[in-house]
Amino acid sequence: MRFDGRVAIVTGAGGNPGLGRSHARLLAERGAKVVVNDLGVGPDGRRLIRAEAEKVAAEINDAGGEAIADVHSVADEESARAVVQTALDAWGRVDILVNNAGVGVVAGFDEITPADIWTLISVHLMGAIWMCRAVWPHLQAAGYGRIVNTTSGGMLGSPGLSIYGAAKFGIFGLTRGLAVEGAAHNIRVNALSPGAATTSFECFYTIPDRAALQAFTDSFPPELVSPAVAYLAHESCELSGGLFDAGGGNVSASYIASSAGYQNPKLTIEDVRDNLAPILDQSALSVVTDPRDPSGHLNETAAQMVPKPYQPV
């Protein structure tokens, strides 16, 4: 599966070992021209471990690929536009966006500072929004595009990751909405949660047992995540709005599902209390497919809803 003639932007691609670096190298190896974007502040945002887009771009070029470095931030609207402009100035087009940039903060909800809260939201959630906004008109005009957004298992709940998880779940919501809006323009948008031993892991976690740590490092290299990302970025991929997990050579799909529930047109508080069993029953789950109908069941009202004209403030 090749990417000849395609131009890809991979954000947060300067770390080594890093997911973005691995994604960029694989796409370039298969023929894509790649913008290697990284602000250079490292996985903690504090420059303790540097990330270098120039080095990764040089690696790709030395291997016979074609890449250029970009050091703009994704967390600012104008700066995100500059990332996209880098691709346009070099190659006159952009086809693929991999939103991988991120910084980490592992802290309890009662101890994390307001500054770190804003950093997580700005880089992860707003960074994905600004990058998608910057690339969107170009994909629409071309009638083609592939976007892969990076989520995380932390969005399902993990100690010290409440804000990070909120940002990542927001990215999934963005993915679902853009999948709907992009369908008419042949723009496919998917989300992927990676599992890999990277500089980010080294910053925030350790495994005390050396043998176990080595086993994790050996079994979960970033290179075993990138094939799933590259497939979602390929022109043959017709999937959109999906949530995938990849790590250690395993690729799976995650779903949001709804129970059959309990219905009563005269519903009371006590009805909810007394009917928790059918409300929570998992024997007849329905996978939620239509973002306009979060219940997962046929909803005639949702199907008839037409948005009113937008009134900008």
Residue 2, in any domain of the structure: no
Position of tokens 């995380």? 152
pLDDT confidence of residue 308: 85
pLDDT per position as a tens digit, 25-71? 999 999 999 999 999 876 665 655 667 999 999 999 999 999 999 99
Peptide bond into 137 cis (omega under 30): no
Number of domains in the chain: 2
Q: Which amino acid is residue 101, in one-letter code?
A: A
Same domain, 172 and 249: yes
pLDDT per position as a tens digit, 101-143? 999 899 999 999 999 999 999 999 999 999 999 999 999 999 9
- Rounded to whole angstroms, the Cα distance separating 135 from 84 reads 6
pLDDT per position as a tens digit, 234-283? 999 999 999 999 999 999 999 999 999 999 999 999 999 999 999 999 99
Annotated active-site positions, please? 164
**Domain range for residue 101?**
7-254
Residue 311, in any domain of the structure: no
Same domain, 83 and 164: yes
Residue 20, in any domain of the structure: yes
First to last CA, the chain: 46
Same domain, 214 and 290: no
- Rounded to whole angstroms, the Cα distance separating 56 from 209 reads 32
Residue 149, in any domain of the structure: yes
- Rounded to whole angstroms, the Cα distance separating 14 from 52 reads 4
Which of 98, 234, 241 is CA-nearest to residue 183?
Answer: 241
Same domain, 103 and 238: yes
Same domain, 181 and 289: no
Residue 51 maps to which CATH number?
3.40.50.720
Same domain, 13 and 116: yes
Same domain, 300 and 243: no
Residue 267, in any domain of the structure: yes
Same domain, 111 and 219: yes
Residue 309, in any domain of the structure: no
Same domain, 41 and 134: yes
Contact 74, 127 (CB under 8 A): yes
Q: Which amino acid is residue 144, in one-letter code?
A: Y
Same domain, 250 and 278: no
- Enter the tokens of residue 268: 């009371």
pLDDT per position as a tens digit, 187-241? 999 999 999 988 777 777 778 888 988 988 899 999 999 999 999 999 999 999 9
pLDDT confidence of residue 306: 82
CA angle 32, 34, 38 (to 5 degrees): 155
pLDDT per position as a tens digit, 7-22? 999 999 999 989 999 9
3-state secondary structure (DSSP) of residue 251: strand
Residue 41, in any domain of the structure: yes
Same domain, 135 and 231: yes
Residue 237, in any domain of the structure: yes
Same domain, 117 and 148: yes
